[in-house]
């Protein structure tokens, strides 16, 4: 049964502390989940690229954007991984855009999403030897929405069942997979690919072929 989005957000955790970020004249913000296709804040520049030392995992629960209290969705976070590499988009905000972007993201990512902030080193695709420092929103095991690891098959089943205020959890997965394909063959994410494959084997069981396109 289709779930109606909640009219009020969940209880708000304290907003993350951003040392000196609000006083900067320019700042790069790294997006590796929904921010790659829907930043929803004004920015001056954007660049596709990657961060090393992290892997992307669908280990964060979402009870607002892509799920509900009864059926939390699955969204991504970053896991420290010495051999890892995560592709995404870095957005540069300048001047008044800095405080406006951080104010918006504190609600979207921290208050509603349960994410904290971390500084990462971003390598632009067109100039990987000219890295940039960027701010990333990361969900840690300490936040109440954290779900942790699960088999890709179980994650796929959960994604297919969940919908939130921002849409179906399946849309989130497929848009992220589309972004990775646009980055080219060098952009690998075995965890994401395994979940997409698992969804492909389960989708007919959840939704007849004629209705599949209406899921998202």
* pLDDT recorded at residue 23: 64
Instruction: Name the helix (H) or strand (E) containing 196.
Output: helix 190-206
* pLDDT recorded at residue 205: 58
Closest of 149, 139, 179 to residue 16, by C-alpha: 139
Q: Contact, 165 vs 3, CB < 8 A?
A: no
Question: Which one-letter DSSP state was computed for residue 174?
Answer: H
Say whether 99 sits in a helix, a strand or coil.
helix
Residue 101 tokens, joined: 């972007």
* pLDDT recorded at residue 3: 39
Residues annotated as catalytic are 109
Q: What is the pLDDT of residues 65-117, one digit of tens each?
A: 999 999 999 999 999 999 999 999 999 999 999 999 999 999 999 998 899 99
Read off the pTM: 0.85
**Can you tell me the distance from the alpha carbon of 66 to that of 162, in angstroms, rounded to the nearest whole number?**
7
Q: Which domains does the chain have, with CATH numbers?
A: 26-201 (3.10.490.10)
Low-confidence stretches of the chain (pLDDT < 50) are 1-19, 208-216
* pLDDT recorded at residue 202: 86
């Amino acid at each position: 049964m289709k779930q109606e989005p909640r009219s009020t957000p969940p209880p708000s955790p304290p907003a993350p502390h951003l040392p000196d970020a609000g006083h900067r004249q320019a700042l790069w913000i790294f997006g590796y989940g929904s921010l790659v296709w829907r930043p929803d804040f004004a920015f001056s520049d954007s660049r596709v690229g990657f961060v090393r030392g992290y892997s992307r995992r669908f280990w964060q629960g979402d009870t607002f954007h892509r799920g509900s209290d009864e059926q939390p969705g699955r969204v991504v976070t970053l896991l420290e991984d010495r051999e890892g590499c995560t592709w995404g988009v870095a957005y540069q905000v300048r001047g008044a855009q800095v405080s406006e972007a951080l104010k918006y993201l504190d609600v979207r990512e921290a208050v509603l999403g349960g994410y904290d902030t971390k500084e990462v080193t971003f390598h632009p695709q067109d100039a990987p030897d000219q890295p940039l420092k960027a701010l990333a929103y990361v969900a840690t095991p300490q936040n109440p929405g954290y779900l942790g690891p699960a088999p890709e098959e179980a994650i796929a089943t959960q994604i297919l069942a969940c919908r939130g205020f921002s849409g179906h959890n399946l849309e989130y997965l497929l848009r992220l997979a589309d972004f990775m394909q646009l980055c080219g063959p060098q952009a690998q994410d075995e965890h994401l690919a395994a979940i997409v494959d698992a969804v492909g084997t389960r989708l007919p069981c959840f939704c007849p072929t004629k209705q599949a396109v209406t899921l998202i």
